[in-house]
Amino acid sequence: MFELKDIEELTNHISLPKLYEIAKNSAQIGNEILKINYNKIQKISSKGRKGDLVTNVDLEVEKKIKEYLVEETPNISIHAEESGKLNKSSDLTWCLDPLDGTTNYSHGYPFFGTSIGLVYKNKPIIGAISVPYFNELYSACIGIGSFCNDTELKVSSPSNLSESLLVTGFSYDRFETEDNNYAEFCFLTHKTRGVRRGGAAAVDLAFVAAGKVDGYWERGLEVWDLAAGAIIVKEAGGIISDYPSGEFNLTSGRILACSPSLENELKNVLDNVSPFNKNLYT
**CB contact set of 131 (below 8 Å; sequence gap of 6+):** 112, 113, 137, 138, 203, 206
* Residue 226: predicted pLDDT: 98
* Residue 173: predicted pLDDT: 61
Average pLDDT per run of 10 along the chain, which is 282 residues long? Answer: 61 81 98 96 74 86 97 95 82 96 95 97 95 98 96 97 96 65 90 96 98 96 97 98 92 96 95 69 46
Residue pair 185/195 in contact by the 8 Å Cβ criterion: yes
Taking the C-alpha atoms of residue 210 and residue 137, their distance in angstroms, rounded to an integer, is 11
Cα within 13 Å of Cα(33), Cβ side: 22
CATH of domain 161-281: 3.40.190.80
- Alpha-carbon dihedral angle through residues 250, 254, 260, 265, given to the nearest 10 degrees: -160
* Residue 88: predicted pLDDT: 76
Locate the domains of the chain by residue range.
4-152, 161-281
pTM of the complete model: 0.92
Can 4-152 and 161-281 be said to share one CATH topology? no
* Residue 273: predicted pLDDT: 86
Q: Pairing mode, if any, of strands 194-197 and 151-152?
A: unpaired
Which architecture does CATH list for 4-152? Answer: 2-Layer Sandwich (3.30)
